[in-house]
Amino acid sequence: MHPTDFTLRGAIEALTEGTISAEELTRAHLDAIERLNPRLNAYITVTAEQALEQARASDERRRQGLAGPLEGVPLAIKDLFCTAGVRTTAGSRILGNFIPPYESTVSANLLRDGAVFLGKANLDEFAMGSSNATSAFGPVENPWSRRNDPETKLVPGGSSGGSAAAVAARLALGATATDTGGSIRQPAAFCGVAGIKPTYGRCSRFGIVAFASSLDQAGPVARTVEDCAILLRSMSGFDPKDSTSADVPVPDFAAACTRSVKGLRIGVPKEYRIEGMPAEIEALWRQGLEWLRDAGAELVEISLPHTKYALPTYYIVAPAEASSNLARYDGVRYGLRVEERGDDLTDLYERTRAAGFGAEVKRRIMIGTYVLSAGYYDAYYLKAQKVRALIKRDFDQAWDKVDAIVTPATPSAAFGMNEKTDDPVTMYLNDVFTVTANLAGLPGLAVPAGLDAQGLPLGLQVIGRAFDEETVFAVGAALERSANFTALPAVRAGA
């Protein structure tokens, strides 16, 4: 068995038993990155030397009996998390060669638990995108390809495309990611891996480059539901440096993965049967529900009546917050600065921001600025906030009837790199099943559940009550067991 084929859980066991060292495990991943990253472009920055140092230090800690829960586990860190001393780009030119002097709370928690960082994973610029095509550091290629069209390069999804591709191609045992409208779940589904966006407030946002503060949430991507559970436990926890972080206990999520789903009421929202959805996704959804019923769960048809407003609501709230959050990239204190002789302050702003931001980021800044403007605020932003409250209420009412909700993760399988890119609205439709969980602040887990006719992975989504990730993991793990998803991407280490 190649060391990169370990699950995260399996690697922890092997490290504990001493059949492999952290250094060997890390080196195997670095070799794989060296071989495959030039093609996949999953990493923007590879920190090989630092990773080996961390791995050796980890082996030393283990010798001293000081092993943490993630001791020696090599991970990819989405390049939206600030990492002390390591360049952090947010997939944008505007941050230039920004090297944060501080560590994000989530990545610090992982280091505290013994993890080794292989490098910084590629992403859509400022996490704005569903294909990883908006990255200033080039697109990421999905390690999967169509059975009868292997030449067409597919997108890994976004914005956490680098994280999902790296994990799928075995260039990391797991990865951090963030999800504002589906940026963990959609790329996980496209790359045939698992990923969870936990409840808003579960992970600290401190040190994560902000996109839309009321929606952003960090979470893990890994090859199994249990691996996600192990990572999430380390990533989570109250942080006094984030006022929106929740002061609630962090349960043993991995333990919840073996819980029976017997007697659980599973909600099937009728509004998620959308027009134009491929039949195989509809079929997979039905299949997933049957697996759960077979495992003893009860299926309950529910209605989330405001679902159809979720996408437009999201595309008002998220750009509004982004337009304000991205105002700090002005060329004055750090990052890119573009100026010419005789420029005044406004020229400096305009030149810097024109050169530093890509088209999609500019589009969202303009949308956000527009919806917050005097005269439009009430009609757009305020109305969107009201609809958001209604979407949240839909879920609150659903929880009286069900314990979890199961839906498709995405309306399609991974698409080609040159498909869908000309029309931003088509691209935005990728988030149709995932944005609701962000707007309502709920946990959502994507689980690979099957393949389409082209041999591409398709995922199902489990949505749960706020701070009830345990039920989400239990349902997700049950789906995973039934699906027995063993297909592998064409491009992967150890192949």
Task: Tell me the closest approach of the beta carbon of residue 373 to other proteins, in angstroms.
Answer: 6
Of 22, 44, 46, 82, which lies in the binding site for other proteins, with binding defined by CB under 8 A? 82
Which stretch, 140-148, 152-160, 202-210, 300-308, contacts other proteins (CB under 8 A)?
202-210
Backbone angles phi, psi at 393, to 5 degrees: -65, -35
State which of residues 34, 262, 301, 327 lies at the interface with other proteins (CB under 8 A). Answer: 327
Please give the Cα distance from 397 to 297 (Å, whole number): 20
Q: Out of 244, 287, 454, 482, name the contact with other proteins by CB under 8 A.
A: 244
Residue 102 touches other proteins, criterion: CB under 8 A: yes
Q: Which is nearer to other proteins, 214 or 454 (CB)?
A: 214
Q: Which range touches other proteins (CB under 8 A), out of 164-172, 177-185, 221-229, 329-337?
A: 329-337
Task: State yes or no: residue 213 binds other proteins (CB under 8 A).
Answer: yes
* Identity of the residue, 110 or 320, whose beta carbon is nearer to other proteins in the bound complex: 320
Q: Which is nearer to other proteins, 272 or 329 (CB)?
A: 329
CA distance 269 to 381: 27
Query: What minimum distance in Å lies between the beta carbon of 244 and other proteins?
Result: 6
Q: Based on the shown chain and the rule CB under 8 A, indicate whether residue 391 belongs to the binding site for other proteins.
A: no
Residue type, 406: V
130 has catalytic annotation: no
Pick the piece of the chain touching other proteins (CB under 8 A) from 41-49, 64-72, 210-218, 389-397.
210-218
C-beta of 104 vs 132, nearer to other proteins: 104
Closer residue to other proteins (CB): 164 or 212: 212
CA atoms of 348 and 150, how far apart (whole Å):
46
CB of 256 to other proteins, least distance (A): 28
250 in Cβ contact with 235 (< 8 Å): no
Q: How far is the CB of 102 from other proteins (least distance, A)?
A: 6
**Selected range binding other proteins among 35-43, 71-79, 241-249, 472-480, rule: CB under 8 A:** 241-249
Near other proteins by CB under 8 A, which window of 10-18, 160-168, 326-334, 397-405?
A: 326-334
For the four alpha carbons of 347, 350, 351 and 353, in that order, the dihedral sign comes to: positive
User: Residues 162, 168, 173, 177: what is their CA dihedral angle, to the nearest 10 degrees?
Assistant: 40
Minimum distance from CB of 330 to other proteins (Å)? 7
241 scored as a contact of other proteins (CB under 8 A): yes
Contact status, residue 286 vs residue 266, Cβ threshold 8 Å: no
Letter for the amino acid at 350? Answer: E
Candidate segments 109-117, 258-266, 372-380, 456-464, binder of other proteins by CB under 8 A: 372-380
78 carries an active-site annotation: yes
Per CB under 8 A, which region of 44-52, 144-152, 199-207, 396-404 contacts other proteins?
199-207
Phi and psi angles of residue 279, each rounded to the nearest 5 degrees, phi first: -60, -35
Residue pair 363/424 in contact by the 8 Å Cβ criterion: yes
Q: Candidates 152, 373, 397, 418: give the one binding other proteins (CB under 8 A).
A: 373
For other proteins, the binding residue among 15, 191, 193, 210 (CB under 8 A) is: 210
Burial code (b: 16+ CB inside 10 Å, e: under 16) for 40-68 equals bbbbbbbbbebbbebbbebbebbeeeebb
Task: Let me know if 183 is a catalytic residue.
Answer: yes
Which of the residues 104, 107, 145, 159 is marked catalytic?
159
How many angstroms separate the CA atoms of 437 and 216, rounded? 11
Catalytic site residue from 21, 58, 78, 160: 78
Cβ proximity to other proteins: between 374 and 425 the closer is 374
Closest alpha carbon to 235 in 79, 463, 70: 70
The widest CA-to-CA distance across the chain, in whole angstroms, is 73
A 10 A CB-CB count for 418 gives 11
Q: Which of residues 340-359 bind other proteins (CB under 8 A)?
A: 345, 349
Q: Is 59 in the site for other proteins (CB under 8 A)?
A: no
Q: Secondary structure of 445-491 in the HEC alphabet?
A: EEEEEEECCCCCEEEEEEEECCCCHHHHHHHHHHHHHHHCCCCCCCC
DSSP letters for 259-299:
---TT-EEEEEGGG--TT--HHHHHHHHHHHHHHHHTT-EE
Among 238, 309, 334, 428, binds other proteins (CB under 8 A): 334
Cβ partners under 8 Å of residue 386, min gap 6: none
Instruction: For residue 398, give the nearest of 450, 447, 428, 436 by alpha carbon.
Output: 436
Tell me how far apart the alpha carbons of residues 222 and 192 are, in angstroms, rounded to a whole number: 10
Residue 100 contacts other proteins per CB under 8 A: yes
Residue 485 touching other proteins (CB under 8 A):
no
Work out whether 212 is an interface residue with other proteins (CB under 8 A). Answer: yes
CA–CA gap between residue 132 and residue 227 (Å, rounded): 24
Gap between the Cα atoms of 472 and 462, Å rounded: 6
Q: Which residues bind other proteins (CB under 8 A)?
A: 81-82, 88, 90, 95, 98, 100-102, 104, 205-210, 212-214, 240-244, 320-321, 323-324, 326-328, 330, 332-334, 345, 349, 369, 372-374, 377, 381
Enzyme catalytic residues: 78, 159, 183
